[in-house]
Chain A
Amino acid sequence: MPANRFNSFTDYGIGIGLRVPHYQHILTRKPVVDWFEIISENFMVDGGRPLQVLDQILEQYRVVQHGVSMYFGSAEKLNREHLKKLKALVKRTKTPWLSDHLCWGSVDGRYTHDLLPMPYTFAAAKVTAQKVRAVRDFVEVPIAVENVSSYAEFHASEMTEWEFLSEVVELADCGILLDVNNIYVSSKNHSFNPYDYVNNVPHHRVAQVHIAGHSKFKKYILDTHDHPVLDPVWQLYARAINLVGKTATLLEWDDSIPSFDEVHHEALKANQFIDQIQHQVAPA
C-alpha cells in the first residue's frame, strides 16, 4: 500500500549505493539486498565495463537512479546531451523514480561538479520547478528532488530552506528525496532546528530518504559520506519515518568505503525505526 501519491514504492525497503569496491563481492556472492542506488552519471557512457557491470546487477537486483549534475537550480538551460543520455539509461535500468539535487552547479556551460546551495527566493523556486517539470516530461519517470547540505547562506534568501523545498516541489508537483543527514549538517552550519525542517516539509511528497555519515570540524560540519550514521541523524531519521511512513531508505557511503557487509549492516539499522512505526499512527 503506497504511503502517499509520490511514494508508490514503500516496499522497496533498505538500499545501498552501488560502488566500485563492492562490485566483485556483489557479482560473485550475490548478497540479498533490497535495492541498489546508482549514480546515473557513472553509467551514462556508451560501452565498456560500467555498462557490463550494470547489466549484471540489473539481472539480479532492483536499481534506482540518483543524479548529481542535472542542476535543477542552475539559471542556464538544460543540457540536451545530458538529458538524452539520461533517458537512455532510464530505459536500460527501468528505474521506478529518478532523483537529483535541489541545487545549482553550472554556469555558461561550465561545470563546478559541486552541489551548490540555492538562494531561497520565489523567483529561484519558479526557475527550478520549471526545470524539474521539463526533465520529468523528457525522461518520463517520476522525479524526487533532494535537499543538499550547505555551508553558505545568501543575503538574497526570502524564506527558510524547507519553505523553499516545499515551494519547489509544489510548483513542480514532484516528490522529495529527504536527506536527513544533509538536514542535520545544514542545521549545525546555519543554526536552525533540524526538527523544524523535518516537521514542516510536505510529508505526502517524500518518496525516498537518504541517510549518511558526516565529519565535524571546528567551525562547521562537512557532508563527507565516509562514516557510519551518527546518533543525531538516526534520531532525525526516526522522526522523519514517523511522519512520512514506511519509505524507501538508502545509506550513502562514498569515501573510505569499508567492506560490503559493513556498509549493508549499517544500512539495515534503519529497519528498527521502520519496524517501530509499523503499528503506529503517524503524528500530525
Chain B
Amino acid sequence: MRRSKPTSSSTRSSIRSRPRKVASAKQLGDLQALMAGAIMRPLTPRGGMEKTSAPVANAIIKRNDRLTSFERLEIYNRQYWYRILGCIYDDYPGLRAVIGERKFDRLVHAYLARYPSESFTLRNLGRRLGKFLRAEPKWAAPHQELAMDMVRLEWAHIVAFDEATKPAIHVDDLLGRDPAKIRLALQPYITLLEVRYPVDDLLIAAKHGDDRLRGEASNAVELHHKRVSRVRFRHLKPQPLYIAVHRMNCTVYYKSLTREQFEVLRALQRGATLEKACAVLVKRGGSAAKDSAAQVQQWFQEWTSFGWFCQR
C-alpha cells in the first residue's frame, strides 16, 4: 500500500499514457489514481491548485464555456483540503492553541501529505499525528514537548469518546480471589498518559476559548482568525502529570493520578497480575508502599466504580 502522495515525476510518467479511455477496470483505476494524485496535492500558498497539475486536468477533464479543465479540477483540489483541514482543525484545538494557527496549518499540511487518510471515517484522520510529530518535531518548534503532550491528549480524547465498553468487573468480583492469578484489562476507551506539561487544563481552556490561556500560553488570539500575534509561553512551566483519559455516562474526563496509581494501572494494562502490579509500589518504596493495604483497596474501589476494568 502506498503511503505517500504520488510524486510529480510519477504523475508525469502516468500522463504520458493519456488514459482518456476507460474501457476496463484497469483504466478506471489509472484515471482515478491520476485524479486523486492531483486532488490530494497540497494547495499553493494562495490557496490554488499547483500549475504542475495542469497536464492531468487537460488529459482527463473537459473544459466548458465558463471553466477550463484546470479550474474544474481545482474545485476538487480545494474541496479536499478544506474538508480534511476543517476536520483536523476541529479535532485539535489544543494543538492549535499551543503552536499557533500558521504553524498548525503548516504542520497539518505536512502531516496529511505524508499520511493521507487510510480510513473510511474522518474520525481517524489524526491517528498518526503523534507518530509524525515524534519523527519530525521541527513543525512544533520551539514547543515540541508541549505540542507532543497535547497531541497525545487530544487523540486520547477521541478514543475515549467512542471506543468500545466491555462488561465491567466489579470489586465484588475480585473478593476472595488470589491476586497472583488475577489479570485485569483496562476498558478500550481508557488511555493512560504521562505528560510533562499540564495539558489537561490547557485543553479544557482551549476548548472553552479561555482568554487567560491565550495571554499565558498561546498565540491564538482568536481561534478562527488567520492573522494572530505571537505571544510567548511566558508562564507555562513543565509540571509532570499522570492522567487517565476516560469516560463516564458518555462524557470524557481527564482524571489526575498519582505516580503510584499510574504505575499500578500501567502494569495491569501491560498484562501483569494484580499481585505484580501492586508489587510495583513496594519496589518503588514510595508513599503508597507505606500506606496500608486499605489505601490500595480504596483505589480499586474507585476504579471499579468507574467501570475501568474488564476481562483480559
Contact = CB atoms under 8 A, between A and B. Distances in A.
A153 B64 CA distance: 9
A113 B24 contact: no
Given A151-B76, A154-B61, A155-B62, A49 B36 contact: no
Interface string A37-75: 000010011111111100000000000000001000011
Contacts of B26: 75
B40 A110 contact: yes
10 contacts: A110-B40, A112-B80, A113-B122, A114-B83, A116-B39, A119-B22, A124-B28, A156-B22, A190-B64, A219-B67
A115 to B, nearest CB: 10
Interface residues of B, number: 57
A211 to B, nearest CB: 22
B236 interface: no
Contact of A41 (B60, B62, B121, B160): B121
Contact of B75 (A47, A113, A220): A220
A127 B25 contact: yes
Contacts of B55: none
Interface in A153-191: 153-156, 189-191
A55 to B, nearest CB: 11
A116 B76 contact: yes
A39 B26 CA distance: 31
Interface of A: 41, 44-52, 69, 74-76, 79, 81-82, 104, 106-114, 116, 119, 121-124, 126-127, 151-156, 189-191, 219-220, 222
B119 A111 contact: yes
A156 B20 CA distance: 5
Given A107-B32, A114-B79, A153-B62, A48 B189 contact: yes
Nearest to B62: A153
B311 to A, nearest CB: 16
Nearest to B40: A112
Given A156-B20, A219-B66, 5 more contacts: A46-B188, A110-B117, A113-B87, A154-B61, A155-B20
Contacts of A111: 116-120
Interface in B40-66: 40, 59-62, 64-66
Contact of B29 (A107, A113, A152): A107
A219 B64 CA distance: 10
B120 A156 contact: no
A116 B60 contact: no
Interface string B133-162: 000000000000000000000000000111
Pairs A-B, 8 closest by C-beta atoms: A75-B29, A46-B164, A48-B162, A45-B162, A49-B250, A152-B72, A107-B36, A219-B66
B160 to A, nearest CB: 8
Given A111-B116, A219-B67, A46 B22 contact: no
A116 B35 contact: yes
B19 to A, nearest CB: 8
B23 interface: yes
Contact of B66 (A52, A114, A155, A220): A220
Contacts of A52: 250
B145 to A, nearest CB: 30
Contacts of B24: 123
A121 B21 CA distance: 9
B164 A47 contact: yes
Nearest to B58: A155
Contact of B64 (A69, A108, A124, A191): A191
A276 B29 CA distance: 46
B36 A112 contact: yes
Given A107-B32, A156-B31, A49 B162 contact: yes
Interface string B1-29: 11000000000000000011111111111
A108 to B, nearest CB: 5
A47 B61 CA distance: 43
A184 to B, nearest CB: 17
A154 B73 CA distance: 11
Contacts of B36: 106-107, 110, 112, 116
A123 B27 contact: yes
B43 to A, nearest CB: 14
B120 A41 contact: yes
B276 to A, nearest CB: 29
B75 A152 contact: yes
